[in-house]
Amino acid sequence: MEAKLLDEIKGVGQFILSELNNLATGDIDLKGKHDLVTRVDKESERRLIELLSDFSPSQDTGFLTEEFNPEVDLSEHEWWWVVDPLDGTTNYVHRIPVFAISVALMHGSGSVKQGIVYDIYHDFMFYATAGKGSFLNGKRIYVSKESNVENFLIATGFPFSDLSRAEEYLRMFKHLMREVQGLRRMGSAAIDLAYTAAGKFDGFFEYGLKPWDVAAGSLLVKEAGGMVADFKGQDNYLLGREIIAGNPSGFEYLRKLCLQYF
């Protein structure tokens, strides 16, 4: 992972942080039900696209991004930058310090080669390169070793726009409340996955996600020794809008529950 790339992404993060207290009502729009976007999201994405162009592995590299280019044909390019300029926009708007930049370099339609999640407020730079491990601020990280269900701390994201499986989700949530030590909803899937890679959470599950929410974080988890899948335990988590991730024990626990409830 090039240090210059990480520094450039951190620079965009500092711009986001500098604007935290400058948002006005006119700076915030509604993309969909409960789905906010701000001028900061849009400007940050513009800056990220500009800087990432200098780090592309070939000229045949496209951009799959949340704000400007969310619908693409992945067969159009060999390589893709997958970008969420501000994951956790609702937190950001309410000045809750849990929001991140998520950047992944994907080969074809399913092989993530690099992943970066920058937890901006805490200055936590998570990054991974396929086959080379996961790191936080230069130090190697690993998923937790916890195997006792009663000690699991599980992260999730509440359904907020896609309520098609809300009843199934709530039944599983109730099951988890009875068995695990705790449940957390951070409001940023990228941070959920990064924290799972760093051993803070033992597992994470959510549905209704997009590739830019999970591409970088999924690589972080795998390179930290964890496991990632869709709710069926298969590999369609980048495009399938659902994901399970965790240390081996946490992953297997969540996989069985997802098969039971979904």
What is the signed CA dihedral for 19, 22, 23, 27, rounded to 10 degrees?
A: -80
Tell me: the pLDDT tens digits for 20-75?
988 876 777 766 555 677 899 999 999 999 999 999 999 999 999 988 888 889 99
Residue 109 pLDDT: 79
* Sequence-ordered list of residues with C-beta below 8 angstroms from that of 207, at least 6 positions apart, any chain: 159, 162, 165, 169, 231, 241, 242, 243, 262
Provide the pLDDT for residue 70. 84
- DSSP annotation of 183 reads E
Domains of the chain: 3-141 (3.30.540.10), 149-261 (3.40.190.80)
Show the beta-strand stretches assigned E in 67-142: 79-87, 100-107, 111-119, 124-129, 134-136, 139-141
Structure tokens at 150: 């009663």
The 3-class secondary structure across 136-182, one letter per residue, is ECCEEECCCCCCCHHHCEEEECCCCCCCCCHHHHHHHHHHHHHHCCE
pLDDT at 29 (0 to 100): 77
Give the C-alpha distances (Å, rounded to integers) separating 84 from 124, 184, 187, 251: 16, 22, 14, 25
Mean pLDDT of successive 10-residue stretches along the chain, which has 262 residues = 95 96 77 72 96 96 91 93 96 96 93 98 98 98 98 93 89 98 98 98 97 98 98 96 98 98 96
Nearest Cα to Cα of residue 155 among 208, 101, 195, 128: 195
Tokens encoding 177: 């409340």
Q: How many other C-beta atoms can be found within 10 angstroms of the C-beta atom of residue 169?
A: 21
